[in-house]
Amino acid sequence: MKKKTVRDIAQMKGREKIAMLTAYDAAMAGLLDECGIDILLVGDSLGMVVLGYESTVPVTMEEMLHHVAAVRRGSPNALVIADMPFGSCQVSPEQAVANGIRFMKEGGCDGVKVEGGGDVCATVQALVRAGVPVMGHLGVTPQTAGLLGGYRVQGRSREAARRLLADADLLARAGVFSIVLECIPEELARLITERVPVPTLGIGAGIHCDGQVLVTNDLLGLFDRFTPHFVKKYLQLAPMIREAVSGFRDDVRQGAFPGPEHSFSSDTDFSDLAGT
C-alpha cells in the first residue's frame, strides 16, 4: 500500500468514495490502516470516547499530541489528521499556526481539522500559508455546540442552509483540502458537495457526500448507552466485552484460570527450597 497524501484525497472527489474513521491509539490505527481506511482522524472526540470528559471542550493540545503521535506510529499508510482542540486556534491565526506546526512536527500528522465557517477563514489561510493542510468542519461543530443550541441538526431552514453554503464556499477559497459536514440535511449536503471543489466527508449528512466518517467506537458498538441516529453499528462489542470479562472474573474466582496450558514449568527440583 502507498502512503496517502492530501493530494490523493483531493483527487478522489468525483472518482472514488473516501472512507474516514477516528483513531486514538496505535493498535486500533494499525487495524484500520490495514483495512485500507483512507483517512484516520484523531478527533477531539478523544475527550468523550477515551478520556471520560463530558464534552470535547476540556481536551488540551498535550492530550491530543500524545494520541496523534500514537496513531501515526500505528498507521503507515492512511492520511492522519489531528483535530485542533478548543482553545488551540481561537486566540489568533499565529496561535493556530504555532499549534498546527506542533501537530505536524511532534505528532507526525499530515494536517489538521478546524471547526467553523467564515469566522475561521483567516486561521485557515494562515495555516495553509505556513504549510499545514487543513480540513474544514461545518454543520454541528461540537466545540461550540452550546452556541448552536446543543447537538441539533443544522441547516434545516433556507436561511441556515444559505449560510452553510456560503461558509463552505469561503472555506474552499481559504484553502481547505476537504470539509467534514456533520448532521445536516442530505439535500443540503448534496448542494455543498456539488458546489465546492474539495471533497466533503459526511457524518449524519447523507449519501451524496464524497466520503463518510464515523467514530470508530460507535461503528464497533463499544458504547451502547445510546446510538446517534446516523451511526451504523457493524459490531456489538460492548456486550461481547462484558461477557468475556465476566468469564475471566468467574474463572479467577473459581480457580479455573490459569490452567496448565497457561503456566510455566521447569526441570529444576525446587522442593528443597520449601521453608528456606
Q: Is 82 in the site for ligand KIV (CB under 6 A)?
A: no
Q: Is 215 in the site for ligand KIV (CB under 6 A)?
A: yes
Nearer to ligand KIV, 70 or 215 (CB): 215
182 catalytic per annotation: yes
Sign of the C-alpha dihedral, residues 62, 130, 200, 143?
positive
Q: How far is the CB of 148 from ligand KIV (least distance, A)?
A: 14
Q: For cell 511532534, what's the residue?
A: 106
Contact 34, 75 (CB under 8 A): no
Give the contacts of 253 (CB within 8 A, at least 6 positions apart): none
* Residue 256 C-beta-side C-alpha neighbours within 13 Å: 7
Q: Is 96 in the site for ligand KIV (CB under 6 A)?
A: no
- The beta strand positions in the chain, using DSSP E, are 18-22, 39-42, 79-83, 111-115, 134-139, 178-182, 200-203, 211-214
Nearer to ligand KIV, 38 or 44 (CB): 44
Residues paired with 201 in a beta bridge:
180, 211
Residues 37-66 that bind ligand KIV (CB under 6 A): 41, 43-45
Nearer to ligand KIV, 45 or 75 (CB): 45
Residues 175-204 that bind ligand KIV (CB under 6 A): 180, 203
User: What does R_g of the chain's alpha carbons equal in angstroms?
Assistant: 22
Q: Is 88 in the site for ligand KIV (CB under 6 A)?
A: no
Q: How far is the CB of 275 from ligand KIV (least distance, A)?
A: 59
* Amino acid symbol at 136: G
Total binding residues toward ligand KIV, as defined by CB under 6 A: 10
Which three cell numbers, joined as nine digits, stand for 275? 521453608
Q: Pick the binder of ligand KIV from 21, 22, 69, 96 (CB under 6 A).
A: 22
Closest-by-Cβ residue to ligand KIV is 43
What are the distances in angstroms from CA 142 to CA 96, 136, 137, 170, 265?
Answer: 18, 13, 10, 20, 55
Q: How far is the CB of 274 from ligand KIV (least distance, A)?
A: 57
Q: Pick the binder of ligand KIV from 79, 127, 132, 213 (CB under 6 A).
A: 213
Question: What is the bridge-based pairing of β-strands 18-22 and 211-214?
Answer: parallel
Q: Is 83 in the site for ligand KIV (CB under 6 A)?
A: yes
Catalytic-labelled residue, pool 94, 159, 182, 261: 182
Which residue ranges make up the site for ligand KIV (CB under 6 A)? 22, 41, 43-45, 83, 180, 203, 213, 215
Catalogue the active-site residues: 182
